[in-house]
Amino acid sequence: VILFYHSSEINTNMRVSWRQNPPTIIRAKFEGDPKKYIRVEQGEDGSAVISFVDKQSIAAKFGVTVGCEILAVNGQKVYGASDCLRKLVSCTKASNGGKVDVMISKGHRGKGYKYILIEKFDNNMIDPSSDVIDGLTLEETNDVVKIRRTPHVSSSNFHGHRLNEGDVICTISGIPINSIVWAKVALKVASGPLIPILTFNIWRKVKLMLLPFIRKGKKLSIFDG
């Protein structure tokens, strides 16, 4: 298997995939036993993907459908299907069957795309004249916003999220980002304790594409042009 990637092709495909039809963020309120109206399975990248929704359930009323991805439960990030169900059940019990806040991504995310969830921070930390946000240095080229330098201090909300230089900032709270100014606006208007940021990394995409071949033991030749 030989894979050819050209930077122009990558940028074009990337813009089409998340600008024309970006995933949206649903902030739902579940109540009652979640095991009775939804099922969650493990996604290929460790995400928690909904595989069944009772059409008469509270989840369906919020627009949740099969394929949606659960990102957080009551302000706590989820780490895969098992962790997601555990948090849904424990939070429901803690509220005596009451309402539980659930952050959900609806829409195709695609290989190479990943959500990071950062804590909401003081808007005064966002300098309108700077390309640095809480230690994260951004750059803007042809309506694409990328990470130029990751924060090196642990006090930054972006620290520890496995961000890489060159990662593209695609959406913030479901809002497509095409400039550093718009990224700052999206961060300022974001609601809730956690802010979902959709990022893209080409090597992450290549890794996920190659996994099926690697597992089958096939020989590969990879060229990045």
Q: What is the pLDDT of residues 58-67, one digit of tens each?
A: 999 999 999 9
Q: What is the model's pLDDT at position 61?
A: 96
DSSP H or E run through 11: helix 7-19
Look at 5 and 63; give whichever has higher pLDDT. 63
Q: Which range has the top average pLDDT, 113-117, 198-202, 220-224? A: 113-117
Taking residues 184-188, what's their average pLDDT? 93
Choice among 44-53, 179-188, 213-222 with the minimum mean pLDDT: 213-222
Look-up of token digits 């497509």? 176
Choice among 70-84, 93-107, 120-134, 187-201 with the minimum mean pLDDT: 120-134
Q: What is the pLDDT of residues 140-167, one digit of tens each?
A: 999 999 999 999 888 888 988 889 899 9
What is the sign, positive or negative, of the torsion defined by CA atoms of 20, 25, 28, 30?
A: positive
**Tokens describing residue 182:** 């718009």
How far from 79 is each of 85, 137, 179, CA to CA, in Å?
10, 27, 30
Q: What is the model's pLDDT at position 124?
A: 81
Least Cα distance to 194 among 75, 80, 104 occurs for: 75
How far from 168 is each of 19, 46, 108, 149, 200, CA to CA, in Å?
12, 20, 17, 12, 5
